Amino acid sequence: MTVVESWAFVDGHGHGDGCGDGALPVAPDDAIAVLRRRIAHGTFESWLAGSSGRLLAVVTNAERAMVMLLNGAGDPGEHATDPGAEGWSDGFVLANGQSDEYPDEDTVPLEEALRIVRHVLATGGPPADAAWTVDR
């Protein structure tokens, strides 16, 4: 039997995020519902910690999202990409208030991001058909 990693919402430092979503493991579909709710309420940066110590970050502007998977704090990680996308998007607001912009090729449409996040939470990795770049 394969044991899949459990995931919980945390702050960017790997601690319970204090917004009522943190510390308790969350099922993949429930995590997507929480992400949608957080985005609808203007929280554009979300982190989940896996039971193995990995971190999954989602930073969005409500249209596109940067999805990063890290082996732990300080790891350059890997991220979802959109090969061939042109231009830049802004409005990626971090928890500290900083507003970032990213090349569209380093982000994916929000629905694709949520599909990828759900798959990572369910299986431990991105879907085979998702474009992915390792930054290590």
pLDDT of 90 strictly over 70: yes
Please give the DSSP secondary-structure letter assigned to residue 76.
-
pLDDT: which is higher, 32 or 24: 32
Query: What are the phi and psi torsion angles at 10 (to 5°)?
Result: -140, 175
pLDDT of 2: 57
For the chain, list the strands marked E by DSSP. Answer: 7-10, 45-50, 55-60, 64-70, 78-80, 88-93, 99-103, 108-109, 132-134
Give tens-digit pLDDT for 112-131: 999 999 999 999 999 999 99
pLDDT of 48: 97
pLDDT of 10: 93
pLDDT of 27 strictly over 80: yes
70, 77 Cβ separation under 8 angstroms: yes
Q: Domain-by-domain residue ranges, the chain? A: 7-122
Query: Which residues, in sequence order, are bridge partners of residue 60?
Result: 65
Taking the model in full, what pTM does it have?
A: 0.90
- CA 12, 101, 78, 125 dihedral sign is positive
